[in-house]
Structure formats: structure tokens, C-alpha cells
Structure 1
Amino acid sequence: MSDQQKRLQMALEAAHMAIWDSRLIDGQVIDGTVSWSAKGAALLGLEERALTQPFRTFLGFVHVDDQGPLLEVMQEAVRQRDGYALQYRVVWPDGSERWLAAKAQVFTDADGQPDRTLGIIWDITEHMLRELLIAERKELAEVTLSSIGDGVITTDPYGKTRYLNRVAEQLTGWSNELARGMDISQTLPLVDERTGEALEHVAYKCLQQRQAIGISAHSQLVTRDGRHIAVEDSAAPIWSRDGDILGAVVVFRDVSHERKLSQQLSWHATHDTLTGLINRREFEHLVAGALHTAKQDGHVHALLYLDLDQFKVINDTCGHGAGDVLLQLLAKMLQAQMRDSDILARLGGDELGVLLPHCPLDHARQIGEQLRQSIRDFRFAWDSRSFELGVSIGMVEISQDSKSMSELLSAADQACYLAKEQGRNRIHVYQESDVMLAQRHGEMLWISRLNEAFAHDYFRLYAMPIVHLNDSQEHHDEVLIRIRNSQGDLILPGAFIPAAERYDMMLSIDRWVIRAVCAHIESVRDSLPPIEAMAESRRRAPALYSVNLSGMSLADAGLHDYITEQFVQFAIAPEQLCFEITETAVIANLPKAQVFMRQLKAMGCRFSLDDFGSGFSSFGYLKALPVDYLKIDGVFVRDIASNAINRAMVKAINEVGHVMGLKTVAEYVEDEATLAVIRELGIDYAQGYAVGSLRPLTAGVD
């Protein structure tokens, strides 16, 4: 062997390569032979010695899937009289697989006919396994990215788009192929949803600051076809092993539904759902802001408190549905009368508030007079009847001398009260002397009226049906109290109950109602002949009457004994009485309320939790109370047919109530659409003008 051949042999061995020498017969590879060096034979898993074998024998070592392609590549090279390179698998005698790579050149004889191929061959098994592992990981990563619910876009170090997963393609409108190489600000344009202006792109910030950028809350994606989609987006750098930034990965997702729901919840937290006006809490927040500017900058504002006259008459005569329509119409009409900067709010049932920013008292009086006259001129038609309205307006100035937000609201309320007392349908501007005057006058007036009602038996009881939606035989009424005074006016509880609570007369009123209901039950029972009464009792369960109890009565240690005395005196079955208590009243008197309720429950009385859902910890307190019925707050029921959030609230309350073994009652079911939803949700009882109207409890009571 010459020195040159020795050097070649050493070089080949150093590179773990061997000689690959294939002889041809009549230009055919398959009919020829293969000669191996000792290292070459070892590549086939054979003994390490020089070897010549028929090509067909060699082909038997090649993986069955690679035999055809290998022969085709070599034969084509022979035909072209050119070189070739290929990779293929061989199967060793022990069954293991190895990858080999070969490079060779075609040589010709003296006549120019191909007679051999000569080249080198080496083992690339480890390299191929690495490549396969990398390919597998890449495929796994792409499958993972394609299957997750978030959009993913990767970039190079300059913000050029490299890859979009399936969700990113769907959201942006760009395909992976079209987007590749484009600036990410083009494939993922982001704008501020509040201003519509382009945002500093999260990917560029990430690349510039060399750190992860957290989720932004007000981003909108502008799609390829110009649509705007609310998204949450974040970005993180892609690092090399050497600490260089290879690019960025941006993750984003469609949050249109969540953001819309959040906006709806935010709107509902600050607005009245019936009228669309801002609610009391938000109004108080704005009044506090106005007071701050008055004290800090010397600005002057005006606060108005409006109480509609005759509204309760319309509500009781035509139903809550008519009252709701009236409030909606008035809200639109009054807003049209006011400046853009003025703020109109609904503070309660028929009470409205107006904040007039930067408005001196004289100008505020003019605006108030315009509002009063507009309401006075308004005619409300319902079921062929027409109603006139009035409004009593209390007005107070917000200035540097004003004390606090709560005192401002109290002052406006007092001024409105005096406007009512002075004849209604007028404006009263608050003065310092009004507070003591109103308190003194109100105290004397209501103590006198309530004592007169007790003395002359002016109290009247009315019944509002609570209708079981599946059992037509059940008879259940809520008992409501009114005052019919000496002039024949019917005074609603909204007028005298607050006063009774203020002047500690609720205990007496609650006891009067309990005794009167027991007497009514006795009179109904005794009015039927014995045989008829027996048949009636067999046909259906005795009527159930729900009586409202105040928070003061819940804390009254003697009420339990008083109720027991009435049961004994009138021979009443305790199962015929259900006591309605409000969530807030129970929470305020929780320990005493629990004892009181358990005592009466042991006797057979039932309990209903009124206005459920209006508190902040409803479900938590519910577990601690032995109640039988949940009356879902009417604020959730009223527009349930059109308000998805209220529907979800009612559904949740109903389901939790049923899990706890309680019956559910929906208040303010005023129309067929609401009733249909209530039935669909599986609520047990309905109360409202869609299922029954208010009637005197005792025949002959007007």
C-alpha cells in the first residue's frame, strides 16, 4: 500500500468512514458485486474483515422499505454517469437497525461504459435519531399549539412573524404561509378598545425590554377583514442556550364574551335596570365628587330630590307593569329636558335624584320648575284610563359650606318631604331650619295618624295570592296592611311603615296584623256548616296566610308568647300561618331571630325569607335559618324575560333553594312572558298581577 493510500485509509478511519465499491455487470447494479473494506463490513454488523459479496446479498441487509429507493438512486446515477448520495437503513444480524449514508461516483471502462461506483460510507444512526427526536418534538409542539384554545404567534428577534397556530389563524384571518415574514404589527394589529388608537405592540415591548410582558386588559385585535375582537394578550422572550433572544412568543385569546359580560355587570352595578338611569349608589358617588370640587375649588352645584305624586295610586290600580312603563316614559322625557352635563338617577321606587353640576341655586330653581311643569303636563294612559301626575321636589345647594354627602341627601329628602306637606306638586329649597321643623312636624303627624288608626280601627288587610304553578288546589295569600282614614283615603304601607319603624310602633302594628289574621281564619272556619267544613278540609289543605314581620318584632322577646296566645284564643292551627321576614331584618337580629324561628317552627308555623338575593351574603346566612320558602327579590324577576343576567341569578337562587329542600317564590310576575320564564326555570310559586290581583282579605272591606 502506497503512502498516499495509507494516509487515505487513516483519514477514513478517523472519520469513521469506509470504502464503498460496487461493481456493475452490463451496466446493472443489481447483477454486480459490492466490495467492503474491513470497517465497511462492520457497518453491516459483520465480522470486521475485507469482504466481497453479490449485490443481491448486500441488498438483503438493507431495510425492506429502503431497498427499492436505494437501487433506484444507484441505477439512475449509472444511467446518468454521475455521482449519487443517499441514506438508508440496514438490519444487522442481531435484528438492530442502523442508518448509513453513502456518497459515490460512477466510473467507466475504456469503452466508456459504466463498470463500477466507488465512494465512501459511514454510520449516521445517532444523527438520525437526534433528527427524528427533534422532528417528533417539533410535531408534538405544533400539535399542542394547534389544539390549545389560545392563539399563539412566534416572531424572530426583529418582530417578524414566524408561526401562527390554528386558533391564531382563525382569529387574525391570516394563514401561516401568508403571515410568515411579515411584521407582527400587521398580522396581529392591536388597538385600545377605549380610544381606537394603535397600542405599543406587546411583542415589540417584550423584545425591547428582554422580559415577559403581562396581560393587557383593554386590547382589541383588528382582523384581516377589519373586524374588532376583544383580546387579552401577553408575550415572552424565546431564549437560546447562550442567552441570546431568538424571538418572542405572543399568546392571545378572544375575551369578547367575558368583556361584554363584565361591562354588563359593571353597568348593572351602577344603573337601574328598569329605567336605564344611574342607581342610588352611583348617584351618591357622584354627589360626593361634586361636594369635593365644591370644597376644593369653590364650585357651586345643586341637588334635587323628586318624589312622584299619585304614582302609588297608578301602581295599585293598574299593577306594577303600568308603574314600570310610567317610570320608563318619565325617565326618557325628563332626560330630554336636561342639559348634557346634568345627571338623573332613580333612587327608589318612585323617587328620582338630579345633580346639576356648576349650577347656582337660582338657575337650579328654573330647571327644577321646568321638570315640575313637564311632569304636571304629562298624561299617562293605561287601559283606556288617563292619569295626571305631580311631583314634589326638594332642592339643596352644594357649596363650600356643605358638610357631608349623607347630610346633603338627607337635606334634599327633608326638603322634598316639606314640599309634600305643603300641598305637593311644588319645589321646596332646603334651609337649616327645615331639619328640626320636619322632624318635629313628622313626629307629631305620624304618631297622631297611627294612634288614630288604632283607636278607630282604620287598618285594613288585603290579600295578594301566592300561586303554586303545579298545584291548583293549594290556597296561599300574603297579607298586606293599609290604612283607610276618616276621609276615605287609602294610605299605603310605604307611607306609614317607615314612620312606624322610626317611632317604635311596628311591634303594635305586627301584633294587630297577627291577631286580625287569626280572627279572619276563625271567621272563615266558623262560617261554614260542619259537614261542608269537613268536606272542604278533605278536598284541599287549609289556606295558608303569610304575615310580614319587622326586624323589631324579630327582636321582641314577648312576641312568641303573644302568637301562642292567639293560636289558643282563636283555635288556630299554627300550620296555617307563615311569617315573612326580610333578609336584612334577619341578619340584623340573627341570634334572636334563630331562636324565635325555631320555637315557632316546632309548633308548625312556616317561614318565608323575603327579598332574597338583595343582600351580600344571602346563601351563607340561608344555611343558618330554618325557612320553608325563598321569595326571590323582584328586582331580578321583573325583566327576566329580556335580561340574561337576571335570568341567571334567578336560576341560581332557585337551584340552590331546591338543593336545600326549600320552595321558591318569584315576586313581581306581572306579565305572561315573565310567567313563562318562571315556569321554565322550575320555580314553585309566582306572585304578581299575571297570576292574581290584590283583594280585600275580608268580604265587604273596601
Structure 2
Amino acid sequence: MSDQQKRLQMALDAAHMSIWDSRIVDGQVIDGTVSWSARGAALLGLEEKALTQAFRDFLACVHADDRARVLDVLQDGVQRHGGYDIQYRVIWPDGSEHWLAARAQVFTGASGQPERTLGIIWDITERTRQEIMIAERKELAEVTLSSIGDAVITTDPHGKTRYLNRMAEQLTGWTSQLAQGLDIWDTMPLADEQTGATLEHVAVKCLHQRQTIGTSAHTNLVTRDGRQVAIEDSAAPIWSRDGEILGAVVVFRDVSHERKLSQQLSWQATHDHLTGLINRRHFEQLVAGALHTAKEQGHVHALLYLDLDQFKIINDTCGHSAGDLLLQLLAKLLQSQMRDSDILARLGGDELGVLLPHCPMEHARQVGEQLRQSIRDFHFAWDSRSYELGVSIGMVEINQDSKSLSELLIAADQACYLAKEQGRNRIHVYQEADVMLAQRRGEMLWIARLKEAFEQQYFRLYAMPIVHLREGLESHDEVLLRIRNSKGDLILPGAFIPAAERYDMMISIDRWVIRAVCAHIQSVRDSLAPVEALVEQRRRAPALYSINLSGMSLADSGLQDYITEQFVQYAIAPEQVCFEITETAVIANLPKAQVFMHHLKALGCRFSLDDFGAGFSSFGYLKALPVDYLKIDGVFVRDIATNAINRAMVKAINEVGHVMGLKTVAEYVEDEATLAIIRELGVDYAQGHAVGNLRPLVAGLD
């Protein structure tokens, strides 16, 4: 072997290559032979020694899927008198698959006919596997990016767009092909949700700061056709192995629905759902802000409390629907009488609040008088009847001398109370001397009224049906307390319960109700003849009565024994009594409440958690309480036909309640539309005018 041949062989060995030498017969590759060096034979998985074989035998070593292509490429090279470059698979005798690459030149004889191909051949199995793996990973990545729910855009180190997945194409309006090479702020413009101002792009910030930029809120994507879509976006750098930034990947998603829901929930947290006015909590925050400016900057504002006269009469006579409509009409009427800067709020029930910023008392009096006169002139028509209203207004100045928010609110409330005491439908401006006067009058008045109610038996029990929406045989009533005074006026709990709580009279009232209900159950049972009682018992389960308990009673250690005594005295089955407790009352007395409830549950009593859903901690506390019924707060039920958020809340509470094995009750079911939705959602019971009206529990005592 010459030196030149040796050097060639050394080079081939170093490159793991071998000589590819084939003979051609009559211009046909298929009829020729192939000569292999020892290294070349090893590339086929054969014994490592020199070998000459028929081309057909070599072709049998080629993967079946590649044979036709190998023969076509080689034959084409021969016919062109040129050469070829090809990659293909061979199957070794042990069944393993290997990739080979070959490059050869065609040589002709004296006659000009192709006689031989000569070239090199080498194993590319490992490289090909790596390429296949990389291609598969790339394909997997692209398929994954294309199919995930989030939108993804990648950029180069200069913020030029490289790739958009399918979701990004849908959101931006750009195709990946059209967007390639464009600045990211062209393909994905960002604007502030509130101001509309152009924002620094999250991808650009990521590339400049060389770090991940977390999710941002209040960001809008401006689409290719100019629409704005609420998004949450974040960006992360793409690093090379040597620590260089190759670009950025931006991940974003459409949060239009979530942001709209959040805005609606935020609105609901600060507004009264019925009237659209701001609610008490937000109103008090605004008053606190006004107080701050008064103290810090010397500004003067006015605070008004309005209590509607005669509203309760309309509400009781015509029903909640009439009362709701009246409040909505009055809200619009009063807002039309006020400046844009003035603030009108519903504080609860028939109470309204007004904040007049930067308003001296002289002008505040004029505004108050205008509001009073507008309400006085307003006539409310319902069922062919017309009703007149009045309003008692308490007014207080917010100035540098005002002490605190709580004292301001108390002062306005007391001034309103004195306006009512002085004959209603008038304005009373708060004076320092009003504090003790109002407190003393209020205490004496309510103590006397409640004592009189006990002594003269003015307390009355009413029943509000709780109707099962699928089974009609069950009788279940919530027992409600009223006072019928000597003048024949019916006083609602909202008027006397706060006073009773303030002066520690709630325990006595709760005990009176428990005893009266037990006496009623006994009287109903004793009024039936034995045969009638047996028929009634077989026809339906014994009537169930729900009794409301205050937080004070839950904390009363003697109440358990008192209830047991009444059951024994009146021979009452505990299964006929259900105690209704509010979430706030339970939370305030949780350890005692749990002991109390478990004790009475053991006797057979049932428990209902009232106004459920008003607190955000409801589900957490629910697991710790042995309740049977879940009464969904009426604030979510009453406008469920028109409010998608409230419908979702009722649906969620109902489903969780059922998962926990509880029966659910919807309050304030006032019309057929609401009732239909409650049925559709699968709520067990309904309570409200759509299924039953309030009635005296004891006939003849209305």
C-alpha cells in the first residue's frame, strides 16, 4: 500500500468511514456487485472482513421501506453519469436498525458506459437518532403549544416575533406566518384597562431586565382589528446553554369573563343590589374620607340620615314587591335632585344616607328640604290605590371639630330619631345636647314598650311556610315574632329587636317564643280527636316549626335546660322543633353553639343555618356545625332571574349543601320566575310569597 493510500485509509478510519465500491452491469445497478472493506462489512452488521456481494444481497440488508428509494437514487446517478448522496436504513442480522450515509461518483469505461461507482459510506445512526428526537420534541412542543388553552408568543433577543401558537393567533388576529419578524408591540399591543394608555410591553421588560416578569393585571390586548381584550400576561427569558438570552416567551390568556365577574362582585360589594345605590359599608368609607379632609384641610361637609315614614305600612300591606319598587323609584327621584358630587346610599331597609361634600350647613338645609318636599309630593300607586310618604331627616355637619366616624354616624342617627319624635316629615340638625336626650328617651321608650309587651301579652306569633318543592305532604313553618300594641299597630322585629339586644332582653324574648310554640303544638295535638290524630299522623309527618334564636341565647348556658323543660311540660316531640341560627351568631359563640347544638340534636331537634352565604367564611364554619337545613341568603335569591352572579352563588351553595347531606331552603322567593329557577337548580325548599303568605300562628290573635 502506497503512502498516499495509507494516509487516505487513516483519514477514513479517523472519520469512521469506509470505501463504497460497486460494479455496474449493462448500465443496471441491480445486476452489479458491491465490494466492502472489513470496516464496510461491519457497517452492515456482518463479520468484519473484506466482502464482495451481489447488489441484490446488499439491497436485502436495506430497510424494506427504503429499498426502492436507494435503488432509484443510485440508478438515477448512473444514468446521469454523475453521482449521488443518500441516507438510508439497514437492518442488521440481530434485527437492530442503523442509519448509513453514502456519497459516490460514477465512473465510465472506454466506451463511455458507466462501469463503477466509487465513494464513501459511514454510520450516522447516533446523529440521526438525535435529529429524530429533536424533531419529535419540536413537534411535541409545537403540538402542545398549539393545543394548550393559553396563548403563547416567542420573540428573538431584540423583541421580534418568532412564533404564535393557535390561541395567540385567535386572540391577536395575527397568523404566526404574518407576524414573524414584526416587533412584539406590533403583534401584541398592550393598553391600560382603565386609561387606555400604551403599556411597556411585558416581553420588552423581560428582555431588558433579563428576568421573568410575573402576571400583570388591568392589562388589555389590542387586537389586529382594534378590539380590546382583557388579559393576564407574563414573560420569561429563553436562555442558551452558555447563558445568552435567545429571546422571550410571552404567555397570556383571555380573562374578560373573570374580570367582568370581578368588577360585578366589586360593584356588589359596594352597592345595594335593589336600588343600585352604594351600600352602608361603602358609604361609611366615603364619610370617613370626608372627615379626613375636614380635619386635614379644613373642608366642611354635611351628612344626612333619611328614614322613610309610612314605608313599613306599604311594605306590609302591598308586599315586598311593592316595597322594592317604591325604593327603586325613590332612589331615582332623589338622585335627580342632587349634584353629581353628592352621594346617596341605602343604609338598610327604609333608611337612606346622603353625603354632601364641600357643602355648608345653610346649603345643606336647602338640599335636605328639597329632598323632603320631593318625597312628600311623591305619590305611590299600587293596586288602584295611592300612597303618600314622608321622610324624617337627621343632619350633622362634618368639620374640623368632628371627633370620629362612629360619633358622626351616631349623631346623624340620633338627629333622625329626634326628627321622628318631633312629629316626622321634618329635618332636625344635630346639636351636642341631642346625645343624652336621644339616648335617654330611646332607652326609656323601648324598655317601657318591651316590658308592656310582656305584661299585656302584646307579642304575636306568625307563621311563614317553608314549602318542599317536590313533596307536598310535609308541613314546615318558620315562626316570626311581632308586637301588636294597644293602638293596634303591628310592630316588626326590625324596630324592637335591636333595642332588645341592646338592653339584654333577647334571652327573655327567645324563651317566650319557645314556650309559646310548645304550647301551640300541644293545643293543635289536643284539638284533634284520637281517630283524627291517627289519620293525620299516617297522612303526613308531624308539623315542623322553626324558631329563631339570637346570639345571646346561644351563649346562655341555661337555655338547654329551659328547652328540655318545655318539651317535658308540653309533651312535645323534639323532632317537631327546628332552631334557626344565623352564621354571625354562631361564629360569635362558636364553642358554646357547638355544645348547645349537639346536646339538642341528641334529643331529636333540628337546626337550620339562616342567611347562609352572607359571609365568605360560611363553608369553613359549616363543616363544624351539626345543621340539617341551609337557608340561602335572600340577597342572592330575590333577583336570581336577572342576575347571573346571584344565580351562580345559589347554585354553588345548593350543590355544596347537598354534597354535605343538607337540605337547602331559598328565602325571598317572591314570584313565579324566581320559583322556576329555584326548582331548576334543585333547591329543596322555598320560602316567600310565591309559595305561601305570612299568617297568624294562633287564630284570633292577629
SS state of the match for residue 448, structure 1?
helix
SS state of the match for residue 66, structure 2?
helix
Q: Which moved more, 1:641-650 or 1:158-167?
A: 641-650
| 1:80 to 1:660, Cα distance in 2 relative to 1, 3 A | closer
Q: Distance in 2 between matches of 1:51 and 1:534?
A: 109
Aligned partner letter, 1:409? L
Structure 2 counterpart of 1:159: 159
| 1:66 to 1:604, Cα distance in 2 relative to 1, 3 A | closer
Structure 2 counterpart of 1:57: 57
Q: Distance in 1 between matches of 2:275 and 2:82?
A: 88
Structure 2 counterpart of 1:502: 502
SS state of the match for residue 24, structure 2?
strand
| 1:434 to 1:73, Cα distance in 2 relative to 1, 3 A | same
| 1:8 to 1:489, Cα distance in 2 relative to 1, 3 A | closer
Structure 1 counterpart of 2:301: 301
The RMSD of aligned alpha carbons is 2.8
Aligned partner letter, 1:319? G
How does 1:66-77 map onto structure 2 within 5 Å? 66-77=66-77
Q: Distance in 2 between matches of 1:561 and 1:41?
A: 102
How does 1:418-497 map onto structure 2 within 5 Å? 418-497=418-497
SS state of the match for residue 348, structure 2?
coil
Q: Distance in 1 between matches of 2:97 and 2:579?
A: 86
How does 1:108-187 map onto structure 2 within 5 Å? 108-187=108-187
Write the deviation string for residues 57-96 of structure 1: whole angstroms up to 9, x where unpaired: 3333333322222222222223223232222233344444
Write the deviation string for residues 122-163 of structure 1: whole angstroms up to 9, x where unpaired: 332332222222222222222332333222222211122222
Write the deviation string for residues 497-547 of structure 1: whole angstroms up to 9, x where unpaired: 222222333344334434444444444445555554554444434433333
| 1:631 to 1:17, Cα distance in 2 relative to 1, 3 A | closer
| 1:277 to 1:19, Cα distance in 2 relative to 1, 3 A | same
SS state of the match for residue 64, structure 1?
coil
SS state of the match for residue 220, structure 1?
strand
Q: Distance in 2 between matches of 1:302 and 1:195?
A: 32
CA shift at 1:670, angstroms? 0.7
SS state of the match for residue 272, structure 1?
coil
Structure 2 counterpart of 1:386: 386
Aligned partner letter, 1:171? L
Query: What is the TM-score when the length of structure 1 is the normalising length?
Result: 0.92
Structure 1 counterpart of 2:233: 233
Aligned partner letter, 1:334? L
CA shift at 1:429, angstroms? 1.4
Structure 1 counterpart of 2:188: 188
| Residue 249 in structure 1 maps to residue 264 in structure 2 | no
CA shift at 1:49, angstroms? 5.1
Gaps of 5+ in 1: none
Structure 2 counterpart of 1:588: 588
Q: Distance in 2 between matches of 1:33 and 1:161?
A: 54
Aligned partner letter, 2:288? A
CA shift at 1:660, angstroms? 4.4
SS state of the match for residue 130, structure 2?
helix
The answer to whether the Cα contact below 8 Å between 1:576 and 1:605 also exists between their aligned partners in 2 is: yes
Structure 2 counterpart of 1:407: 407
The answer to whether the Cα contact below 8 Å between 1:319 and 1:670 also exists between their aligned partners in 2 is: no
| 1:73 to 1:621, Cα distance in 2 relative to 1, 3 A | closer
Aligned partner letter, 1:695? R
| 1:470 to 1:108, Cα distance in 2 relative to 1, 3 A | closer
Q: Distance in 2 between matches of 1:203 and 1:79?
A: 56
Aligned partner letter, 1:90? V
Q: Distance in 1 between matches of 2:281 and 2:371?
A: 23
| Residue 670 in structure 1 maps to residue 667 in structure 2 | no
Structure 2 counterpart of 1:324: 324
| Residue 221 in structure 1 maps to residue 207 in structure 2 | no
| 1:99 to 1:463, Cα distance in 2 relative to 1, 3 A | closer
Structure 2 counterpart of 1:346: 346
Q: Distance in 2 between matches of 1:68 and 1:87?
A: 13
How does 1:481-560 map onto structure 2 within 5 Å? 481-528=481-528, 531-560=531-560
| 1:557 to 1:32, Cα distance in 2 relative to 1, 3 A | closer
Q: Which moved more, 1:471-480 or 1:434-443?
A: 471-480
How does 1:22-61 map onto structure 2 within 5 Å? 22-48=22-48, 50-61=50-61
CA shift at 1:2, angstroms? 5.2
CA shift at 1:387, angstroms? 1.7
| 1:38 to 1:432, Cα distance in 2 relative to 1, 3 A | same
| 1:532 to 1:219, Cα distance in 2 relative to 1, 3 A | same
Write the deviation string for residues 142-197 of structure 1: whole angstroms up to 9, x where unpaired: 23323332222222111222222233233333333222222222222222222222
Q: Distance in 2 between matches of 1:59 and 1:564?
A: 100
Structure 2 counterpart of 1:398: 398
Write the deviation string for residues 218-247 of structure 1: whole angstroms up to 9, x where unpaired: 222223333332222111111112221111
| 1:676 to 1:113, Cα distance in 2 relative to 1, 3 A | same
| 1:206 to 1:556, Cα distance in 2 relative to 1, 3 A | closer
Gaps of 5+ in 2: none
The answer to whether the Cα contact below 8 Å between 1:311 and 1:323 also exists between their aligned partners in 2 is: yes
Aligned partner letter, 1:458? Y
| 1:626 to 1:40, Cα distance in 2 relative to 1, 3 A | closer
Aligned partner letter, 2:132? L
Q: Which moved more, 1:564-573 or 1:19-28?
A: 564-573
| 1:109 to 1:635, Cα distance in 2 relative to 1, 3 A | same
Q: Distance in 2 between matches of 1:49 and 1:252?
A: 62
Q: Distance in 1 between matches of 2:20 and 2:557?
A: 109
CA shift at 1:587, angstroms? 3.4
Q: Distance in 2 between matches of 1:540 and 1:26?
A: 106
SS state of the match for residue 65, structure 1?
coil
Structure 2 counterpart of 1:609: 609
Write the deviation string for residues 591-636 of structure 1: whole angstroms up to 9, x where unpaired: 4444554555555544433323334543444444444433322222
CA shift at 1:567, angstroms? 4.8
Aligned partner letter, 2:386? S
Q: Which moved more, 1:392-401 or 1:225-234?
A: 225-234
Aligned partner letter, 1:675? L
SS state of the match for residue 692, structure 1?
coil
- How many percent identity over aligned positions? 83
Aligned partner letter, 1:211? Q
Q: Distance in 1 between matches of 2:623 and 2:110?
A: 105
CA shift at 1:671, angstroms? 0.8
Q: Distance in 2 between matches of 1:535 and 1:33?
A: 108
Aligned partner letter, 1:261? L
Q: Distance in 2 between matches of 1:544 and 1:142?
A: 64
Q: Distance in 1 between matches of 2:573 and 2:125?
A: 93
CA shift at 1:347, angstroms? 1.3
Q: Distance in 1 between matches of 2:146 and 2:438?
A: 72
Q: How many residues align?
A: 702
